[in-house]
Amino acid sequence: MYAPGPARASRDLANYEVPELGFCFPVEREGTMSKFRILVADDLSPEGLEILEKAGEVEVRQGMAEQELRDALPSCDALIVRSATHVTARVLEAADTLTVIGRAGIGVDNIDVEAATERGIVVMNTPEAGAVTTGELAVALMMCLARNISAADASMKAGKWEKSALLGTELKGRVLGVLGLGRIGSVVADRGCGLQMQVIAHDPYVDQSRVPAGVRLVTFEELLQQSDFLSVHVPKSNDTLGLIGAAEIAKMKEGARIINGARGGIVDESALCDALDAGRLGGAALDVFEREPLPEDNRLRHTQRLILTPHLGASTREAKRNVSREMARQVVKCLRTGVVLNGINVPRIAPAEAAQVGPFLRLAHNLAAFLAQVFPGEMHSLRITLQGDLLSASAHPLQVSALAGALQHRAEGPVTPVNAENIAQRMGVRWHTESHALKRDFVNLIRVEALLGEERHFVSGTVLGHRHGRMVELDRFLLDAIPEGPMLVTFHEDQPGVVGQIGQILGDARINISRVQLGSAENGGDGDVQMGILNLSSPLGARPLKRIQDLPSIRRACAVNG
């Protein structure tokens, strides 16, 4: 259950209102933004479309059924939806090039996040842009309930004058209970304090230090028992479905009122109608429903003291404009730079730290990819060791970046930071991340160690100047190499002419060498064997690679493609 008990160690973030956070998605991209295709499946403001159109090829197709969306999705890099379009697992089967799904709004229950994660597709939302608008609607509905405004309007339009029958109540001094203190819940709580209400709240994931001034945290039971007005602002999940049912309503004050502007199904509609018909509740207001649009024959339409609005939570000009612009910016940033803001299914880091941590995320990815391609054998385990406070604070993002790099050339299908842990688990690859000192020469250092077949190999690296990733150690070889493909890696005899022979073969293949790094084993542990890392202008084909492997001085050579 969402409400009772202490906070859980892990949480369902699918619809939760969380602070804006970022993650660097270390995927190499080729070409210019003009080659990216962006499909907009729901209503987006002109301001948002303008941002997208400056960045890529945009197609707007609203009101698509499932099969139409499947047919439109192939070759698209990004899909943007609001609440109307349902992105199902069947739809995602056609997502052959999709990198990101953007939900212009908060709730992502219309997106199969699990299926997207399985395919390595980022899902992001815009939790901030519509928070004020949605919170203000909840407050407006509360005022309508307190003063019977909807009933008075209907009565007047029916030619009646029922002043005495529409006696209301003041909000000042009444108890406002807020279920869920995310962005929207916090807006409602703040407005309640401004109306001089007594504001209490329940949220098992929020401690007192994050509670708005004037708001008192209580248990779920206390929230039900004390609230005159109960406003619901929690995500829809297995924990919250039917959270406010007959048993919970029975614990509320007689005459209390309920407002649900979160998601349909959190308040049990049948139980709510029963309580209103019996006079147990003083009223209720719903902006969201178990089925949307609400069927014409639904019982809610005929229940008294019940205000219904057609999911107007984010329906203001300001919110539509803000949500559209914010989502467009996030999608463009993801496609251009790999930085994910407000990602639902990726590890999260604060945007303020993204500039520093981002290069290390790419480094972790590249080091692990290098190790997995240079050495043969089935991968059994991966260990990531982090040195430095900056890296230790971002251990999980660094871990999934390394896993994605290690598995991208060994797994079937795409591997990204979104699905890397799931794929590693299926492949039987164990992983572990730890933090401790490795080498005093570096403030921040990443070491990736893999058990490949019967042998263990490791590679270490750091970032210079907050931008440039460097490989500094491979097993016993000391290096200063750039771990970015395409590359040629050789283990060869330490004798004159080797690099010249390699250069001749690459020249014959019209492949330029952009950088050469030669490394010798530390303490002479590998005798007369030297290691060479050559950064190339284009990937190395099988034929020139075979010629290099056949050179007498070459003990082993392989191509690395990033």
Average pLDDT over residues 462-475: 89
pLDDT given at position 524: 53
User: Phi and psi for 306 in degrees, rounded to 5?
Assistant: -130, 120
Sequence letter at residue 293: P
pLDDT tens, residue by residue, 482-531: 999 899 999 999 888 999 999 999 999 999 999 999 988 765 555 578 99
pLDDT at 9 over 50: no
Q: Which domains does the chain have, with CATH numbers?
A: 22-129+318-341 (3.40.50.720), 131-308 (3.40.50.720), 354-560 (3.30.1330.90)
Mean pLDDT to the nearest integer, 165-186: 96
* Residue 162: partners with Cβ closer than 8 Å, 6 or more residues away: 152, 155
pLDDT of 23 over the 80 cut: no
Structure token digits, residue 187: 């807006």
At residue 528, the pLDDT reads 79
Whether 293 and 309 have beta carbons less than 8 Å apart is answered as no
487 CB-near residues (< 8 Å, 6+ apart): 370, 533, 534, 535, 536, 559, 560, 561, 562
pLDDT confidence of residue 437: 84
Sign of the dihedral defined by the CA atoms of residues 493, 494, 496, 498, in that order: positive
Instruction: Find how far residue 513's CA is from the centre of its chain.
Output: 38
User: Which regions of 281-402 does DSSP assign to beta strands (E)?
Assistant: 283-286, 306-308, 339-341, 379-387
Q: Are 7 and 217 in contact (CB under 8 A)?
A: no
What pLDDT, in 10s, does the model give residues 66-77?
Answer: 999 999 999 999
Contact 458, 409 (CB under 8 A): no
Over residues 320-324, mean pLDDT: 93
**Beta bridge partners of residue 448, listed in sequence order:** 384, 459
Mean pLDDT in residue range 106-133: 92
Residue 97: predicted pLDDT: 93
Q: What is the mean pLDDT of residues 184-189?
A: 96
Q: Is the pLDDT of residue 11 over 70?
A: no
The catalytically annotated residue of 20, 57, 222, 292 is 292
* Bridge partners for 217 per DSSP: 201
Q: What does 21-90 look like in DSSP terms, one character per residue?
A: -EEE------S-GGG-EEEE-S---HHHHHHHHTTSEEEE--S--HHHHHHH-TT-SEEEE-SSS-B-HH
Among residues 191, 311, 365, 547, which one is catalytic? 311
Mean predicted confidence (pLDDT) in 124-140: 92
Find the catalytic residue in 257, 263, 348, 365. 263
Dihedral (CA of 487, 488, 490, 495) sign: negative
Residue 319 C-beta-side C-alpha neighbours within 13 Å: 21
**Amino acid letter for position 274:** D
Give the mean pLDDT of 216-223: 97
Confidence (pLDDT) at 58:
97
Which pair of tokens denotes residue 269?
Answer: 């509609």
pLDDT at 169: 96
DSSP assignment letter at 289: -
C-alpha torsion sign, points 133, 137, 143, 146: negative
Tell me the CA end-to-end span of the chain in Å, nearest whole number. 44
The 10s digit of each residue's pLDDT in 242-284 is 999 999 999 999 999 999 999 999 999 999 999 999 999 999 9
Given pLDDT bands bounded at 50, 70 and 90, which one contains residue 13? very low
Mean pLDDT of 155-171: 95
Provide the total of helices (H) and of strands (E) in the chain, helices listed first: 17, 24
Residue 523 confidence (pLDDT): 56
| pLDDT class of 439 with cuts at 50, 70, 90 | confident
pLDDT computed for residue 314 by the predictor = 87
Burial of 172 (0-12, 13-18, 19+ CB in 10 A): exposed
pLDDT top residue among 296 and 527: 296
Element spanning 238, H or E: none
How far apart (Å, rounded) are the C-alpha atoms in residues 483 and 416? 18
Burial group, residue 390, by CB count within 10 angstroms (0-12, 13-18, 19+): middle
| pLDDT for the residue numbered 293 | 92
How far apart are the C-alpha atoms of 515 and 481, rounded to whole Å?
9
**Catalytic residue status for 233:** no
- The pLDDT of residue 355 is 76
Given this model, what pLDDT does residue 30 score?
A: 43
328-347 pLDDT per residue, tens: 999 999 998 888 889 999 98
Q: Which residue has the tokens 């467009």?
A: 328
Q: Is cis: bond before 295, omega within 30 of 0? A: no
Q: Would residue 292 show up in a list of annotated catalytic residues for this protein? A: yes
* Measured CA angle at 538 (ends 534, 543), to 5 deg: 85
In angstroms, the Cα distances linking 398 to 342, 411, 447 are: 18, 19, 11
Question: Contact, 181 vs 232, CB < 8 A?
Answer: no
* Contact between 489 and 479 (Cβ < 8 Å): no
- Residues 31-66: tens digit of each pLDDT: 444 579 999 999 999 999 999 999 899 999 999 999
Q: Closest Cα partner for 243 from 265, 262, 260, 270? A: 265
Q: How far apart are CA 535 and CA 559, in angstroms?
A: 10
Which of 18-32, 282-296, 511-525 has the largest mean confidence?
A: 282-296
Could you tell me if 289 and 262 are in contact, meaning their C-beta atoms sit under 8 angstroms apart?
A: no
Compute the mean pLDDT over every residue in the chain, rounded to the nearest whole number: 90
Model confidence at 230, pLDDT cuts 50, 70, 90, reads very high
